[in-house]
């Protein structure tokens, strides 16, 4: 993830692009208990970041 000026928007954009590239819609994400589980705000960001990290470890490009 990015740090510094504008990092919050850059991180949000990266999360959005990852979600889109992996075929997620908000409706789908909201119903996936393993990813969403009622989390909001920073907790949801953390869940997405963890999914991005896990896919990177598996060698996924998106």
Q: Is residue 18 part of a domain?
A: no
pLDDT of residue 10: 93
Q: Are the C-beta atoms of residues 48 and 14 closer than 8 Å to each other? A: no
Q: Classify residue 4 by burial, with Cβ atoms within 10 Å: 0-12, 13-18, 19+.
A: exposed
The pLDDT tens digits for 15-57 are 989 988 888 766 666 665 555 555 566 777 888 899 889 888 8
Among 57, 58, 55, residue whose Cα is nearest residue 14: 55
Tokens of 51: 């999914």
Q: Is residue 14 part of a domain?
A: no
> Containing domain of residue 52, as a range?
23-62
pLDDT of residue 6: 81
pLDDT of residue 56: 87
Q: Is residue 50 part of a domain?
A: yes
Q: Are the C-beta atoms of residues 49 and 37 closer than 8 Å to each other? A: no
Q: Is residue 13 part of a domain?
A: no
Q: Is residue 59 part of a domain?
A: yes
Q: Is residue 16 part of a domain?
A: no
Say how many domains are in the chain.
1
């Amino acid at each position: 993830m990015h740090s510094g000026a504008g990092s919050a928007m850059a991180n949000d954009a990266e999360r959005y692009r990852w979600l889109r590239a992996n075929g997620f819609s908000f409706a789908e994400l909201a119903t996936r208990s393993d990813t969403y589980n009622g989390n909001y705000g920073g907790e949801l960001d953390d869940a997405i970041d963890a999914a991005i990290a896990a896919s990177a470890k598996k060698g996924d490009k998106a």
